[in-house]
Structures are given as structure tokens and as C-alpha cells.
Amino acid sequence: MNSLERPIRTTTALQRRAHELIPGGSHTYAKGDDQYPISAPPFIVRGEGCRVWDLEGHEYIEYGMGNRAVGLGHAYPRVIDAVRRELVNGCNFTRPSAIEVACAEQFLSLIDGQDMVKFCKDGSDATSAAVRLARAYTGRDFIARCGDHPFFSTDDWFIGTTAMSSGIPKDVSGLTLSFPYNDLDAVRSLFDEYPNKIAAIILEAARMEEPAEGYLQGLADLCHDNGALLIFDEMITGFRWDNGGAQKVYGVTPDLSCFGKALANGFSVSALAGKREFMRLGGIDHTDRQRVFLLSTTHGAETHALAAAIATMREYEEQPVIETIYRLGSRLASGFNDAIKRRGLEDYVEVMGRPCCLIYATRDGGENPSQAMRTLFLQETIKRGVLAPSLVVSYAHRENDIDQTLDAIDGALEIYARALEDGVESYLVGRPSQPVFRAFNGEG
């Protein structure tokens, strides 16, 4: 079946069953039905390299890559082989496994300035542990997080600051402050307004916007001048910006840093790393301070997942992974921008971010951000065999994948231009997608 002949789907019985059994129909909000057009594949059954297949056997070039967790490609042979070798010995024991030490050594050899690491299963556990550790070390309650960065944790200290704050006491959410990115004066003002009360600043070192000259070092200096810790959330930037993370690129070492996503090529491994002065408080050797219940999870050191992490990190060391995703991402961004100009859509579609981690913005005829136009664009790329909620390339993407993707983008932009003239409702099948963070269902 030609991609353009794929029928627009109606809700499947399996989707209905999923919503009966799983709140939201998915275990990850960003993967939910409300995030995609109704033409999106409702389920993915298999992935290989940069391609995935749905229940009906349709094939797609994928650019979500497991919400940026898959950097090498789906079912990457070296990683899968390492997992297989480890699994035959069991995966979880009453005492630690030697692979825990091996994985810690491998990780710390890549991340400069971090002396100790503790592994867990997801990013939320790592960032929340960093927040707890900073509070314990400083004896302070307030945390300041970058308000321009969309997600840090599923835990109350962060979710309480979003539109989906239902169920979270205001006394908890009130302890989290917000500041804009690239604005040192705003952070300085927070320290002035809350003297000796802020335990830590947490942010992504970069996202779509690059840090201004001296910004990150300025943050570090402000934190240390005011007795607070600096925490970098490297869930996305880690193993994309550089093998050593964004902190390596920008030459600023945080007190604590949190990694995950691409660390184990889709297997569930995240990490809290930091300077010994702070991390030791989660240990059993110190006597000068109270103990910190840092991270202790039943499945935090599953051996097969750590084997996946070791294999992934070694592949990054030995192969030109970072160089490849930058090169392919640059070509994708350039081709996308050429198509935007060719269609006269410069005011309505924008490609943003580093080549290793691209996203796109969609606007309506009034040049306002538009979920409906985003949904239309997704609908049209899906119709052409490309699943692109973002434009995140992997090491598995090839030049011909970029060629096919650019053809799909150009075709989608042709429809986009028509929709600006005729109205999006003339081309969009079904409802627009919705933002994840909304207080009530039905809000646009």
C-alpha cells in the first residue's frame, strides 16, 4: 500500500480497551492519543534502526525515538546482545551485582567533575533525589526551577507548578520558585527575595535556546555565593550534546547532574551524579551529618539494563555517534528550512534547536501558535510514512531516510499552505491534538 493511500483510522477496539484499563490509554502522557492526529498509528509493535511498524504492518521513519531515549536506534545489535548475555544469569539479586560497579566506572569516566553516581529507573527519580539532597545539604526548603523548560519530574515539587496541579498541596508547590532562562538578574532577584532559603537552582543547561555568554557560569557563581547548589537536568542533553553532556560543551560543572533517556538506548536507566561532598550524604560511611535517603529502588540496578547502559556508552565512545546525529540533523534542518522558504511559510513554520535535538513550531494565519496546524502537519507527514512529533535523529538514520523525510515534509507543507488559505478545518481530519499540561480535558 502506498503511504498516501493509507486510510484515515477510526478508534480501534484495542484503543478503546486501553482507555478502559489505563488512565489516558497510555503509560506516558506524551504518547497518548490526545497528542497525535487520529491518523497516527495507535500502537507500535516493532522497531529496527530508525523505523517502526504499526499493528497493520505500516512502516514509518521515526523521529520521536522513544521520546529521545533511543539514540543509537531501535533494537541496536550491540546493546541487545549485551542484554541477552546478562539476562541468562538473572536480573535482580539480594546483594549488589558487580556490574553496578562496572557501570558506575564507565559512566564517571565520561562525565567530568562528577565523583559519584547512583542509578535508578527514570528521570523523575533522579531529579527529585537531587532536590532532596540539595535540601538536606543546605538545610533549606525552596527550589528554583527554570520556567522556560517544560518538564523536570512527575513528583509534587515540579508538577505542583504546572496547570495539572490537582492533588498537590499548595504548601508543597509553594516551595518551588520559577525563573526565566538566560536572565541572571531574575535569579539574583530570587536570592534577594528569599535570602538563605533557596537550596538549589535546577535547569537544563540548554534546550532550544543556547545559553548566553557567561550565563551558566554566572548561575554557578550566584548559587555558590548564596550557599545554594546548581543542578543540571541532562536527561535530553546528555548523550546528545556531547558524550560528556551539555556541561562538557559549555565548560560548566554543576554540583549535581541528572542523566537518563539515551543513557541506555531505551532501556530504563537514569542516574544522579555529583561531587563527593554532596553525594556522600546518601552513603553509610559519614558521621558528621544526618543520613539522606537518596535513592533506593528495588529495580534500580537491574543487571540487564546496566549492561545496556555500558554497551551504549561504549558505542558512543568508539563510534562517531554524536558527530553523525549532528551531521544528519544539520542536513534535515537545512532541507526543512529550504522547503519552508519554497512554500513561503517563513512566518508560520519554524525549525528550532541544535541539530542533534530539533523541534518545529507551527503557527496559524495570525502567526499564533497553533495545535490545529501542528496536528495537520503531523497528519500529513504520517500519511507519507514519517512519524515526527519532533525531529530527533538517531545514529541509525541514513541519508536516504533524510531524503524520504524531506520529501514528506515538503508534501505536508504544501497542504499546510493550502490550509492557511482555506482554513485548517478543510484539511484536518478529526480533532486537534492537545497540550499535555491542561487543567481540564477539552481545553485547547
Give the pLDDT confidence score for residue 353 in this predicted structure. Answer: 95
What is the pLDDT confidence band of residue 440, given thresholds at 50, 70 and 90?
A: confident
Q: Does pTM surpass 0.85? A: yes
How does pLDDT run across 395-417, given as a tens digit for each residue? 999 999 999 999 999 999 999 99
How does pLDDT run across 75-122, given as a tens digit for each residue? 999 999 999 999 999 999 999 999 999 999 999 999 999 999 999 999
Q: What's the mean pLDDT in 237-243?
A: 97
Give the pLDDT confidence score for residue 425 in this predicted structure. Answer: 95
> Which sign does the torsion angle of CA 164, 21, 385, 425 carry?
negative
* Residue, of 139 and 2, whose pLDDT is higher: 139
**pLDDT higher than 80, residue 166:** yes
How does pLDDT run across 5-61, given as a tens digit for each residue? 555 555 688 889 999 999 988 888 888 888 999 999 999 999 999 999 999 999 999
Q: What's the mean pLDDT in 230-256?
A: 97
**pLDDT higher than 50, residue 180:** yes
Domains and CATH numbers, the chain: 3-75+320-426 (3.90.1150.10), 92-301 (3.40.640.10)
How does pLDDT run across 264-294, given as a tens digit for each residue? 999 999 999 999 999 999 999 999 999 999 9
